Structure 1
């Protein structure tokens, strides 16, 4: 297993947000964390890379306890892409190069530069490389954020709503990039999402949160319309169209 989450609990002040969260993920798999607004999806993602410290539980990446690692060691193992990347007066190339910081001991090496250039080619970002990121569109900025995370050479990618506020073309392009990286680079990915149809199209496993705990989890064949109705309060049917499962509100 690349990721093992065991009994994670988290609270803000006295409010319980996450209770007894347990799941695992293998290499080359994509997990979608789903559920209504405010259910704790982003909080769980931040607990997984120790931005937030859980009250209890363990999080293992490649058998190492994340909560006992220094932040730089966590960054060597996990690439995190938040919902909104902070804009600064950096070129896209320099922003992606920042992904190499956990691995740089003294100075940037030729190997670091070559790895960034390879990542830019892999994601077809050549036209953006020398543009400033505060001038990029939302979709372009999200691609740069993913490229920076990939440049870290992580074992695990954590993406917080990677398609939020993007048009259909950019949603599909970004999720195709994530899927290609997971399949070809021997890594895994965890994504928080709101769009069930995009999740069902791209993820291998699904975890539904309700009231701060796991209501249901499994592969596509284990997710039923009743599951979705219980979690979201909306009756649905699940239909198969061209080998893709599609959720349709009734």
Structure 2
């Protein structure tokens, strides 16, 4: 019998089954459910749901099925895992990028332009186009996740077994050695004030569209979440002229 576990993720599933059986007895919201968990069950459910949702419909499905409501818990868990489970670092990076995109989409939906839809509302059309463009970024993140999801689940399975003190045969570790090494070569991202090139064609002078375009460009060149948030706060702190001036300071606007 093979010691490979890539097709036999039993313990992870056992933990999820036990957690959900408990939830069915108590009911309550998903947030309450997650709040009631700890240890390996919390890890199993949060990471398992991330994998299932993204695997079936990308980060957009993970968000619109409201699993992103517990994103802070997921980030905390992935942060804890990343030393022993190297691909958790890559998953963590994708989750954070997805949340930034989701926040951009939320800002569009909450803008004045988005509240008034009619056949002659060009501003609404532009806002909707921008929203769809923003959500397109989630598709790219999903494709990146598919590149390592199977290996990630193997690492998670072994992580959970170690977490609960279960013995793992050396033969299992040897057979999965290559998978267990995956992700270790990924360097920590160094956030920094990089200045991307941004063309404002297609924004029609729409302040929100300009800010979204610059934010997306900053993210694409590796700027940190805090750095992008600083840009947004400064850009929204004054007039339209202020928005343009701040955008030119953070990006090479053309």
Q: Give yes or no for TM over 0.5.
A: no
Rg comparison, structure with higher value: 2
**TM-score by structure 2 length?**
0.27
- Using CA pairs below 8 Å that are at least 6 residues apart, which structure has the higher relative contact order? 1
Q: Which has the higher helix share?
A: 2
Q: When the two structures are superposed, what TM-score results if normalisation uses the length of structure 1? A: 0.27
